[in-house]
Amino acid sequence: MSSSRIHYAWIVLIVGTIIVFGSLGLARFGYSLLLPSMQSALEIDNSAAGSLATANLVGYLLLALIGGALASRYGPRLIISIGMLVVGVGMLLTGGSQSFWSGMLWRFVTGLGSGASNVPIMALMSAWFSPTIRGFATGIAVSGSSIALILTGPLIPRMLSLFPSNGWRLAWYIFGGVSLLIACAGALLLRNHPKDLDLHVLGGPNNRAKLNQRTLNWGLVYRSRAVWHLGLVYAAFGFSYIIYITFFIRYLVGE
């Protein structure tokens, strides 16, 4: 293949960034922007609002724990696309919630989809980028959630001011519709491995990339102390910022 052509890894990276945009930026952080309006419409207090966020995180955790194994068995492209489909449907149904319990159910479903799409997309970066530039690629991919905050930050308040009673529902419908489009993009454009297109990983040949992922012993992975140590560190990180990000905008509105 001519070196002047753009390597398909960059296409995978762009789509991966957009997937993080939807699976975390809209599905998780969008809740913080819409929380004050949802609380008023559903007549729930801060404890109930925290429970909705918890339901989303529980769903995310359940699929995050097994998302890698599912992607290894069935292929990241399939799992990520299905995950984004679930995210989109979950947010559409969140917009139609009429009570605390229905809101909790659909936030949980949205979390399942987020875990199924966000975790495998990180693994896909390892399949397409060599170790020398893998961190760079992963850093770009995770910026998708920040891009979502940058875009929705000024837009959602304007929407809520234009539609004070049902603006939050409209926002969830838009988030859900965008996520369904992202699911289609993932299904059409993602590829599980460079060898699917007769390519090497970007950055040079990588012998490890030629291994069949299905030979991985997931029992050893789940019994690894290092894996659980990293998982606990990430859990502590999540605990430190999720509470803050969930209620910070609610606090500002109250002030």
Instruction: Give just the sign of the alpha carbon dihedral 164, 168, 171, 177.
Output: negative
The pLDDT, as a whole number, for residue 252 is 63
Residues in the chain, overall count: 255
pTM of the model: 0.85
The answer to whether 246 touches 32, Cβ cutoff 8 Å, is yes
The pLDDT, as a whole number, for residue 152 is 92
For residue 198, is it left (φ>0), alpha (ψ between -120 and 50) or beta? left
SS3 letters for 20-80?
HHHHHHHCCHHHHHHHHHHHHHHCCCHHHHHHHHHHHHHHHHHHHHHHHHHHHHHCHHHHH
The pLDDT, as a whole number, for residue 207 is 44
**Packing angle, helices 46-74 and 100-128, rounded to 10:** 40
The answer to whether 87 touches 179, Cβ cutoff 8 Å, is yes
Q: What angle do CA 250, 253, 113 make, to 5 degrees?
A: 35
Extents of the domains making up the chain:
8-254
The pLDDT, as a whole number, for residue 210 is 46
The pLDDT, as a whole number, for residue 237 is 72
Q: 79: closest CA among 106, 22, 119?
A: 119
Please list the rounded mean pLDDT of every run of 10 residues in the chain (255 residues): 74 96 93 89 89 91 86 92 97 95 96 94 91 92 93 91 92 97 97 91 61 57 78 75 69 60
The pLDDT, as a whole number, for residue 36 is 87
The pLDDT, as a whole number, for residue 206 is 47
- Look at the domain 8-254 and name its fold: Growth Hormone; Chain: A; (1.20.1250)
The pLDDT, as a whole number, for residue 250 is 66
Percent of residues in the chain assigned helix, strand, coil, to nearest 5: 85, 0, 15
